[in-house]
Every structure is written in structure tokens, then in C-alpha cells.
């Protein structure tokens, strides 16, 4: 018999989504089916134009954060599922520009981001929502 005492062994990251003014807690944990975290850096070249071959130098101007997540939809009794379903069905401008708190937790460390939902879609089976896929981008 063996035991894992510490470290990263498998999928130990949890994701939470909460209203912007709320304190993130266990009621905000998402039932994640699949998640992709994408961090990109915007760059520009720092070289003068010459007619000789040279190594290109790059400067970083900014960094972007995106999370593309598919969750198993659990229904209206779960806060993050209700938030996402409201985003999916809303025609209200207030909801469209509503920010959220997004937390990624792994190994006892929390990574918090203020985000917008920038795209969302639902997968229906037998007339009910099975999964919701959404994209978050940093505020």
C-alpha cells in the first residue's frame, strides 16, 4: 500500500466562479468536465530595418488571459451554474457586461482573476442542458 502525501498528482485543480462582489467559497466550485487556460503575450519587434541578417529582438507589450471551460450543468441549486445560465439566456445589458470572480485552486494555492464571460453555449440532450461551455477573459 502506498500513499500520496504532497505534490501534484493528476487533476487536482478546482475552478470556481462567483459574483464579482462575493467572497469565493465552496458553494462556487464548478463541476468541470474540461478546461483550457490560455495565456498569451503581445509582442513587437525591436530591431531597426537593415539589409543584413540579424537575430530578431522582441519586446512584450501586454499579456492576455483566457479560460475555456466545459462544465456539467447541475441546475438552479448551484450558484455558478445559475450565473452561467443567466449569461446564456440574458438579453439584459447589465448581465452582458457583468464581471465575475474566477478562482483556480491547486496544491493549496489560489489564483484569482476578475473576468468577463466572453462566449457561452449550452449542450442539450433530451430537452435539458447537459453541459455549458464558456470562455472567460480578464477584466
pLDDT in tens, 95-126: 778 999 999 998 889 999 999 999 999 999 88
Tell me if 9 is assigned to some domain.
no
Q: Into how many domains does the chain fold?
A: 1
Tell me if 8 is assigned to some domain.
no
Q: What confidence score (pLDDT) does residue 97 get?
A: 86
- Residue 135: strand, helix, or coil: strand
Nearest CA among 109, 102, 112 for reference residue 135: 102
Tell me if 72 is assigned to some domain.
yes
CB-side exposure of 115: number of CA atoms within 13 Å? 24
Q: What percent of the chain clears pLDDT 90, i.e. is strictly above it?
A: 60
Q: Which domain holds residue 110?
A: 14-48+55-138
DSSP for residue 90? -
Beta pairing, strands 109-125 & 14-19: unpaired
Tell me if 4 is assigned to some domain.
no
Tell me if 100 is assigned to some domain.
yes
Tell me if 2 is assigned to some domain.
no
Q: What confidence score (pLDDT) does residue 8 get?
A: 53
Q: How far apart are CA 41 and CA 88, in angstroms?
A: 29
Q: How far apart are CA 105 and CA 92, in angstroms?
A: 31
pTM, full prediction: 0.81
Amino acid at each position: 500500500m502506498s500513499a500520496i502525501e504532497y505534490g501534484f498528482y493528476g487533476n487536482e485543480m478546482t475552478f470556481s466562479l462567483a459574483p464579482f462582489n462575493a467572497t469565493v467559497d465552496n458553494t462556487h466550485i464548478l463541476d468541470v468536465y474540461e478546461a483550457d487556460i490560455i495565456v498569451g503575450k503581445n509582442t513587437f519587434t525591436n530591431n531597426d530595418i537593415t539589409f543584413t541578417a540579424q537575430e530578431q529582438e522582441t519586446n512584450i507589450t501586454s499579456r492576455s488571459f483566457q479560460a475555456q471551460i466545459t462544465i456539467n450543468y447541475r441546475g438552479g441549486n448551484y450558484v455558478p451554474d445559475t450565473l452561467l445560465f443567466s449569461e446564456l439566456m440574458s438579453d439584459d445589458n447589465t448581465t452582458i457586461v457583468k464581471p465575475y470572480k474566477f478562482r483556480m485552486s491547486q496544491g493549496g494555492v489560489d489564483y484569482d482573476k476578475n473576468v468577463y464571460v466572453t462566449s457561452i453555449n449550452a449542450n442539450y440532450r433530451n430537452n435539458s442542458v447537459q453541459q455549458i461551455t464558456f470562455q472567460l477573459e480578464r477584466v
